[in-house]
Structure 1
Amino acid sequence: MSEARQRATAIAATERALAAEFAATRDLSEGLAAHLSDADATMQSMEDASPAKWHLAHTTWFWETFLLRDHALGYELYDADWPFLFNSYYEAEGARIDRFSRGLLSRPTLDQILAWRAHVNAAMDALIDVSEHEPLIRLGIAHEQQHQELLLTDIKHALFQNPAGPAMFENAQRPSAEAAQLGWHTHPGGIASIGHNGTGFAFDCEGPNHRALLEPFALADRLVTNGEWQEFIDDGGYADAAHWLADGWAWVQAEGIAAPLYWRDSDAGAQHFTHTGWQSRDPHAPVTHISYFEADAYAAWAGYRLPTEFEWEAIAWGQRGGDAPAHDPDGGNQLDAAAPPMPRGGTDLFGDCWTFTRSAYLPYPRFQPAEGAVGEYNGKFMSGQFVLKGASCATVRGHSRPSYRNFFYPHQRWQFTGLRLAKDI
């Protein structure tokens, strides 16, 4: 086979794979929505969260705005009013509704949003096989996958507001294996290579690759469990200011925080709210839905500390994130084949809970945001937030990579956030 023929064959294979990934991603978003009524999909329980219907619409707006509007010959907006409704935070794309008004959008209906999605999917056929659009298409796929995780965590918070504890999934949770004795990954320190190394897709904030100097340290080989967190509570952890950062202690006092989000003690025993409704709290499962403030306080109480993002990443490069648990089924699009998102425990660094680090979410050396509106994707949020690593049980498996940087404000805990301890050696 000639070199030109080989190159053409490789390009065609890439285009087919990209088209399949695009279709699978779009299908999975709608598979999640299939578990919800129109009323479910319209709820917005707090400003941090968005309605499921809005996630389905915003991801469609992304394709229409950044691909179809500018690159599809003759394409016209499906509805000229909808960019105002479904833009998120892109200042370059103009005015938009207030974030906490998203739950007031009873119209367009869920069915109308799904019809828009089908229209955009069909229009994208003309762009999938144009190689110059591949980087932006891969960004759009990764963007929608992020919103699938947000849809799962946002609807969990919304359903939690219902005293009846309705379930999104009928699958019963499986008990976790008994947590092993805490062990440690040790690292001798030295110069570590940090950030995306240029192989495969990455968000802009994952690079540039650079060097970081590490002191000798150890990272726990598993996450802190529910049972261990209960010991912190029983020892008065939430009532002792000595364990807490000043801002964290003020937050505990102001908000009346006494346990992780979704925990309750009832006549049925220790429980937590899940995507399958109220369930018995498994003492061996990783604790989740904790804030940075809580994670830091527990670490201080236990005599350890939070890892830096560079320490976590230095250990993670030896692990295979692609095998991590995830809410999307391995090798298919049928959501019914996957269990509801639920941390299980184990010794992997990926796939149970996002791990808090004590690293501020800041740009890496030589970081430059992309030109245009897509440059607003990550860079403008590099202020006042902390980095989380490791992916969660609600994360699409392709996002389980060492360089991935999630980020939240220190009080936020509606995501699947947990704790992996670190110590100096």
Structure 2
Amino acid sequence: MNITDKFKATRKHTEKLCEPLETEDYVAQIATFTSPTKWHIAHTTWFFEEFILKQFKEEYQLFDEHFNFIFNSYYNNSGKRISRANRGYLTRPTVKRVFEYRNYVTEQMVEFLSQNPSEKVLELLELGINHEEQHQELLITDLKFMFASNPLYPVYDANFNIINSQNTDSGFAAIKEGVYEIGHQGDDFCYDNELGRHKVYLNDFEISKSLVTNGEFIEFIEAGGYEDFNLWLEEGLHWKAKKEVNSPLYWKKIDGEWHHFTLSGLQKVNPDSLLTHISYYEAYAYAEWKNMRLPNEFEWEIASEKFDWGKRWEWTNSSYLAYPNFKKSEGIAKSFIVSQTEQVVYIEKLDKTFHFKKGEKIATEISRKYNDKIIQNLIEKTNFSVISKLTDSKDYFANYILNRN
């Protein structure tokens, strides 16, 4: 598939994700950390207009000069923008108008790409495609958070079955002590925070080749894991009390049985399916209960060759920091490394809906909010293992932990 076809396929896939929606579903924003569907599909369009068509296509006519203010996200060089918390106030432009905007920009892009664009344009195009793929996942997770807050528990798509994926492997993979290389290599696309390939030293360890299941976490709940303060970080105890948390996000007990909200509606929790929607605090407590820990970023990357990854986000116990010799990309491709306490995330390929790769990493905030999360077991191959409590961390959050002494 050439890059023009990839562009068209990406645009079409975003619109396919919108097919189950009613007009009202496009506009609502029920939390400041989410965005309306209408904004997502317009923002990804604005990206191509602002950074490619406006800059490189001769005599390009803007679809609407006001859209830059309302559909910019955090690109400071592109001018002022509406506050993220206010995106849900935008009843206008209408959904119909936004789709007209998408179609206009897509057509203009396809025409422009037929004219042998420069390497610079092709680089921006690839970045824009990856950017839109990220927003495809954001669109879905924001919709799920919105629908889950509706007492009618709307069904997005009865056949959207990501939540019920299961493990295909078991046991532990052993990694020998030694010096390993970390970071992106090759000529394929990557973000700048994946660059700065360097050596790291790792001790012997073993990592689970399977992810924690719903049934395993139910055992933790039934054993009193949420009530045993000895399992929790001090910060986690405050978070749990403030939020009144006693189960994973979207879970609720009905007639003595655990149910959870999914994009296919409210369903009974399948004990064999992979656990999702867990904060670092819950993950840490679960790991303490199992006498295990979460792997760090480098352990996970090296070990990932030995297990089948890609069914969930997998969180590490590493801070979101630049690699040695990191050089921030110029312009819009740069990373926003804003805090040394934000958690590293490895984005994985999630079913056939999203398209990510090993080694990609982003930062996240501490609360579980709405993203899917899962546990990766890891065992230290030592007689004694000391696990840091990390009580001074501000923004730690992980999928799960598991380190056996």
Question: What is the TM-score when the length of structure 2 is the normalising length?
Answer: 0.88
Deviation at 1:221, TM superposition (A): 0.6
| Selected match of 1:235 from 220, 223, 231 | 223
Gaps of 5+ in 2: 382-405
* CA contact 2:321–2:337 (8 Å) conserved in 1: no
Query: How many angstroms apart in 1 are the aligned matches of 2:145 and 2:164?
Result: 23
| Selected match of 1:359 from 285, 305, 318 | 318
**Matched residue type, 2:341:** G
Query: How many angstroms apart in 2 are the aligned matches of 1:102 and 1:383?
Result: 28
Query: How many angstroms apart in 2 are the aligned matches of 1:405 and 1:175?
Result: 22
Report the secondary structure of 2:226's partner residue: helix
Deviation at 1:126, TM superposition (A): 4.1
| Selected match of 2:33 from 36, 48, 53 | 48
Provide the residue aligned with 1:10 in structure 2.
Answer: none
Provide the residue aligned with 1:130 in structure 2.
Answer: 117
Deviation at 1:394, TM superposition (A): 6.1
Provide the residue aligned with 1:278 in structure 2.
Answer: 266
Gaps of 5+ in 1: 1-15, 320-346
Provide the residue aligned with 2:205 in structure 1.
Answer: 217
Query: How many angstroms apart in 1 are the aligned matches of 2:341 and 2:355?
Result: 27
| Selected match of 2:367 from 411, 415, 418 | 411
Provide the residue aligned with 1:186 in structure 2.
Answer: 174
**Matched residue type, 2:250:** Y
Between 1:410-419 and 1:275-284, the stretch displaced more is: 410-419
% same residue: 36
**Matched residue type, 1:388:** V
Deviation at 1:178, TM superposition (A): 7.6
Provide the residue aligned with 1:76 in structure 2.
Answer: 61
**Matched residue type, 2:59:** G
**Matched residue type, 1:363:** A
Deviation at 1:116, TM superposition (A): 0.5
Query: How many angstroms apart in 1 are the aligned matches of 2:52 and 2:166?
Result: 48
Provide the residue aligned with 1:391 in structure 2.
Answer: 348
Whether 1:38 and 2:28 are equivalent positions in the alignment is no
Deviation at 1:246, TM superposition (A): 2.0
Q: Which runs of 4 or more aligned residues in structure 1 lie more than 2 Å from their structure 2 counterparts after TM superposition? A: 125-129, 172-182, 372-375, 378-384, 392-398
Report the secondary structure of 1:36's partner residue: coil
* CA contact 1:152–1:394 (8 Å) conserved in 2: no
Q: What pairs up with 1:6-405 in 2 under 5 angstroms?
A: 17-128=2-113, 129-132=116-119, 133-171=121-159, 173=161, 182-267=170-255, 269-316=257-304, 318=305, 348-350=308-310, 352-375=311-334, 378-391=335-348, 393=350, 396=353, 398-401=355-358, 403-405=359-361
Query: How many angstroms apart in 2 are the aligned matches of 1:283 and 1:311?
Result: 28
Deviation at 1:160, TM superposition (A): 0.7
Query: How many angstroms apart in 2 are the aligned matches of 1:212 and 1:255?
Result: 38
Deviation at 1:181, TM superposition (A): 8.6
* CA contact 1:264–1:271 (8 Å) conserved in 2: yes
Deviation at 1:84, TM superposition (A): 0.8
* CA contact 1:359–1:386 (8 Å) conserved in 2: yes
CA pair 227-208 structure 1, distance change in 2 beyond 3 A: same
Report the secondary structure of 1:423's partner residue: strand
* CA contact 2:44–2:131 (8 Å) conserved in 1: yes
Deviations 1:235-266 (A, max 9, x none): 11112222122222211111111111000111
CA pair 383-66 structure 1, distance change in 2 beyond 3 A: farther
Aligned pairs, number: 378
**Matched residue type, 2:342:** Q
* CA contact 1:38–1:109 (8 Å) conserved in 2: no
**Matched residue type, 1:301:** W
Query: How many angstroms apart in 1 are the aligned matches of 2:80 and 2:22?
Result: 29
Deviations 1:173-195 (A, max 9, x none): 59968868951111002111111
Question: What is the TM-score when the length of structure 1 is the normalising length?
Answer: 0.84
CA pair 300-164 structure 1, distance change in 2 beyond 3 A: same
Deviations 1:353-412 (A, max 9, x none): 11111001111111122212442xx233444310122515367554132x1113311223
Deviations 1:146-203 (A, max 9, x none): 0000101110000111101001102275996886895111100211111110231111
Provide the residue aligned with 1:330 in structure 2.
Answer: none
CA pair 277-214 structure 1, distance change in 2 beyond 3 A: same
* CA contact 1:195–1:209 (8 Å) conserved in 2: yes
**Matched residue type, 1:312:** W
Provide the residue aligned with 1:11 in structure 2.
Answer: none
| Selected match of 1:420 from 370, 376, 381 | 376
Query: How many angstroms apart in 2 are the aligned matches of 1:56 and 1:127?
Result: 21
**Matched residue type, 1:371:** E
Between 1:257-266 and 1:363-372, the stretch displaced more is: 363-372
CA pair 146-394 structure 1, distance change in 2 beyond 3 A: farther
Q: Which has the higher helix share?
A: 1
Deviation at 1:69, TM superposition (A): 1.0
CA pair 188-87 structure 1, distance change in 2 beyond 3 A: same
* CA contact 2:157–2:264 (8 Å) conserved in 1: yes
Report the secondary structure of 2:45's partner residue: helix
CA pair 364-127 structure 1, distance change in 2 beyond 3 A: farther
